Amino acid sequence: MLPTMKTALTALAATLAGNALAAPQTNPQTNALPPCTNVVIPVTVTANNVVLPATTPPAFNQVSGTYNIAARYCEPANNLHPRRDVLQVLVHGITYTRNYWSGDGDPNILTGPGAPYGGNLYSWVDFASQQGYPTLSIDRLGNGLSDHPDPITVLQIPIHIEVIHQIITKARAGSLPSPANRNFDKIIYAGHSFGSVLGNGLNVKYPTDADATILTGLSATLNYAFLVPWVGNGDFLPAATVNSSKWSTLNTGYLALTNRTAFNQAFYYPTFFDQALQDLDYANRGTVGLGELESGFALPEQVATNYKNPVYVITGQHDATMCPGLDPLAYTKPYQTYDCGPSGTGTLAQTKKLYPNANYQWYAPPASGHCWHFHSEALATFGVAHNWLNWNGF
Ligand SMILES: *[C@@H]1O[C@H](CO)[C@@H](O)[C@H](O)[C@H]1NC(C)=O
Ligand SMILES: *[C@@H]1O[C@H](CO)[C@@H](O)[C@H](O)[C@H]1NC(C)=O
């Protein structure tokens, strides 16, 4: 069913584009995997971080450092010039890594632990590659295989924005590590959740860095009624004690979630996902720095007045972290669920206020929670995102 939808969406995109782009073969079960290489990108950055515990208004403190950012660079599986030179920079959310963008696994591994789940049914990287785009999915500073600085004073929103800005600057200059060392003409920024908060921050501070921005798992109205107890009720513990074999070297300001119920509620909308994928996702979960959480609460999303390129928000209709309304269907669900409201006037329509001078559009996959990339609608929604890119000339 889903591969059929993907083929249909791809054909639609090619028709609407009305240009010479051939519709790529898109059966995710049989396609060649995208050629991917793990790279390490050195960055040297300075940022004005928040003094913690935060005051109102916040006070700022300058921090600097040189760090290694681990990333996965994937070439397009199909060479559809000029997309070959349009790089998608993919930035994951809290408690994830670069693998969020490739079905919770490494696309270089065909089967077994580490392989992308579900034959690329959940891999944005694979979809983009089939459509002709190279991708760079990073482990954000302090996550995955990237360097882990002080999780309170250093690991905050402002320094993440500087790191991403520097990576994009290198991509345009052709100075990313080989084989990503070519001059990319255009940059598509795609974020998820905290990665989308950073995308908004990037659009505010460096409004020409992204030629197009896709913000997934975001709205202008965070659901604090859900998020504040979720973060604060003691389910996040020092990662080094949660799993000492995996995280023994981490400073105690790096935290991991210990409550499976809380994980399910924040990230998934029952019952529209594969239970085995959710189990894998919990087993593979990553960490979060205290400074990421606290700077997130101290620095709200801002209006990106000077950002004038296209922006597309794609957030699950039932995203517990971003949709403030109670779900009218909640009584049929095993736990309290949330709803972003009507398409024309709801939370995502109102999120346009962050982008007064941009071509703003939004889409809510209807049966999805926060991590819609791991729900049944993922592949169809990858198609929606890439149609939007196509319509916008990328
Ligand atoms: C700790 O991490 C290791 C390596 O990823 C994993 O095999 C193990 O199951 C984890 N232990 C617990 C208690 O989660
Ligand atoms: C786990 O989270 C759920 C949902 O927030 C909560 O009801 C429950 O009390 C938590 N369990 C523990 C052991 O903290």
CATH number at residue 27: 3.40.50.1820
What is the C-alpha R_g of the chain?
19
Q: What count of other Cβ atoms lies within 10 Å of the Cβ of residue 58? A: 16
Pocket of ligand 1 (CB under 6 A): 243, 245-246
* Least trusted range by pLDDT, from 31-40, 106-115, 326-335: 31-40
Q: What ligand 1 atom has the least distance to the C-alpha of 284?
A: 5
* C-alpha 260 – ligand 2 centre gap (Å): 8
Going from the Cα of 245 to the center of ligand 1, the distance in angstroms, rounded, reads: 7
382: nearest Cα among 10, 4, 1: 10
With a cut of 50, say whether residue 10 has pLDDT above it: no
In angstroms, the CA 129 to CA 78 distance is: 7
Interhelix angle 290-298/194-205, rounded to 10 degrees, is: 60
Residues 78-94 have a mean pLDDT of 95
Nearest atom of ligand 1 to the alpha carbon of 243: 1
Predicted confidence at residue 199, as pLDDT, reads: 98
pLDDT at position 329, please?
A: 87
Looking at ligand 2, which atom is closest to the CA of residue 229?
5
Distance CA 91, CA 191 (A): 5
What is the spatial distance between Cα 359 and Cα 389, in angstroms, rounded to a whole number? 12
Among the listed ranges 22-36, 204-218, 368-382, which one has the minimum average pLDDT value? 22-36
- Say yes or no to pLDDT of 339 above 90: yes
How many Cβ atoms from other residues are within 10 Å of residue 36's Cβ? 19
Residue to substitute in 235, 337, 338 for testing ligand 2 pocket (most ligand atoms within 8 angstroms of CB): 235
CA distance 250 to 141: 13
pLDDT band at 34 (very low <50, low <70, confident <90, very high): low
Ligand nearest the Cα atom of residue 336: 2
Task: Output the pLDDT for position 22.
Answer: 33
What's the pLDDT band for 113 if we cut at 50, 70, 90? Answer: confident
Q: Which of 233, 258, 265 to mutate to test the pocket of ligand 2 (most atoms within 8 A of CB)?
A: 233
- Does residue 258 register a pLDDT over 80? yes
How many angstroms separate the Cα of 252 from the Cα of each of 50, 97, 149, 287?
A: 19, 19, 12, 11
Average pLDDT of the segment spanning 150-173: 98
| Ligand approaching nearest to the C-alpha of 236 | 2
The separation between the first and the last C-alpha atoms of the chain, rounded to the nearest angstrom, is 27
What is the predicted pLDDT for the residue at 173?
A: 97
| Confidence bin at 299 (pLDDT 50/70/90) | very high
- Checking DSSP bridges between strand 254-257 and strand 236-238, what pairing results, if any? antiparallel
**pLDDT confidence of 94, banded at 50, 70, 90?**
very high
The ligand with the least distance to the CA atom of 266 is 2
Q: How far is the CA of 328 from the centre of ligand 2 (A)?
A: 23
The per-residue DSSP string of 279-328 comes to HHHHHT---EEHHHHHHHHHS-----TT--S-EEEE--TT-TTT--EEPT
- Number of C-alpha atoms within 13 angstroms, CB side, residue 345? 0
Q: Which range (71-75, 98-102, 116-120, 306-310) has the least confidence?
A: 116-120
d(CA 340, CA 326): 9
Ligand 1 center–CA 252 separation, angstroms: 18
Atom of ligand 2 nearest to the CA of 233: 14
Whether the per-residue pLDDT at 267 is higher than 80: the answer is yes
Closest CA relative to residue 282, chosen from 192, 379, 371, 367: 371
Atom 6 (ligand 1): residue with closest C-alpha?
Answer: 246
Percent of the chain whose predicted confidence (pLDDT) is above 90: 86
Which residue's CA is the nearest one to ligand 1's atom 11?
243
CA of 96 to the centre of ligand 2 (A): 21
Q: Sorting pLDDT into bands at 50, 70 and 90, what band is 76?
A: very high
What pLDDT is recorded for position 331?
87
Average pLDDT, the chain: 91
- Please determine, for residue 14, whether its predicted confidence score (pLDDT) is greater than 50: no
The rounded Å distance from CA 357 to ligand 2 centre is: 42
The closest ligand to the CA of 260 turns out to be 2
Q: DSSP letters along 147-194, please?
A: ----TTTTSSHHHHHHHHHHHHHHHHHT-SSTTS-S--SEEEEEEETH
Kindly identify the ligand whose nearest atom is closest to the C-alpha of 283. Answer: 1
Distance between CA atoms of residues 359 and 188, nearest Å: 15
Q: How many structural domains is the chain composed of?
A: 1
330: exposed, middle or buried (C-beta count within 10 Å: 0-12, 13-18, 19+)? middle
Mean pLDDT over residues 156-185, rounded? 97
Ligand 2 site residues (CB inside 6 A) read 235, 259, 261-262, 265
Q: Atom 13 in ligand 2: which residue has the minimum CA distance?
A: 259
Q: What pLDDT does residue 33 have? A: 61
Cβ–Cβ under 8 Å, residues 66 and 44: yes
Q: State the pairing for strand pair 311-314/360-363.
A: parallel
Q: Which residue is listed with tokens 């928040």?
A: 50
**Domain coverage including residue 96:** 3-391
Looking at residue 32, its pLDDT comes to: 59
Return the ligand number nearest the Cα of 230. Answer: 2
Q: Which of 389, 394, 196, 209 is nearest to 307 (CA)?
A: 209
Q: What's the gap in Å between 240 CA and the centre of ligand 2?
A: 21
Render pLDDT for 283-297 as a digit per residue (tens, 0 to 9): 999 999 999 999 999
- Which atom of ligand 2 is found nearest the CA of 260? 1
Q: Tell me what the mean pLDDT of segment 174-201 comes to.
A: 97
- Looking at residue 346, its amino acid is G
pLDDT confidence bin for 45, thresholds 50/70/90: very high
**Model pLDDT, residue 81:** 87
Mean pLDDT of all residues in 122-148: 97
Which residue's C-alpha comes closest to atom 14 of ligand 1? Answer: 243
Beta bridge partners of 186: 86
